[in-house]
Amino acid sequence: MRRLLIVSFLLIAGCAGPGSPGPAPASAAAIPVTAADPVARGKLLVEMRCAACHAVGPSGESSLSPAPPFRTLSQRYPVANLQEAFAEGISTGHPQMPQIALQADQVKDLIAYLESIQMPPKTR
């Protein structure tokens, strides 16, 4: 189940990598940690590493059609459950997604940002 969750996330949360549209991803170590707010740091992280393929904000469409907007992740599973996958460093066979390896504080910032932009569940 955990492996399926990781693979599922990799397919939907691929960041720009070699051969993909947009600028090359920034090194995680190169992201400045000047913002005091973890949500602001997480926003900067996804803007630098993921925005070439995904809609990373509260609105807009992903530039890569199979890459869903980050604001819809919670419709598939709890965003907080992704923390372990990011902490361990995840990779995928998907050619457009580089291996993701984040430091513990970056993982917390990423999760804080993702949780801040989630759309409310759809009512039927």
State pLDDT tens for residues 66-116: 788 999 989 888 898 888 877 777 655 456 766 777 889 999 999 999 999
Burial class (CB in 10 A: 0-12, 13-18, 19+), 115: middle
Output the pLDDT for position 4.
37
Phi, psi (deg, nearest 5) at residue 95 = -65, -25
Give whole-number Cα distances, 77 to 44, 58, 69, 74, in Å: 23, 18, 14, 5
> Residues 110, 100, 44, CA angle at the centre, nearest 5°?
35
User: Of the candidates 56, 84, 86, 52, which has an alpha carbon nearest to the alpha carbon of residue 69?
Assistant: 56
Q: Using pLDDT thresholds of 50, 70 and 90, give the confidence band for residue 47.
A: very high
Domain boundaries, the chain: 2-117
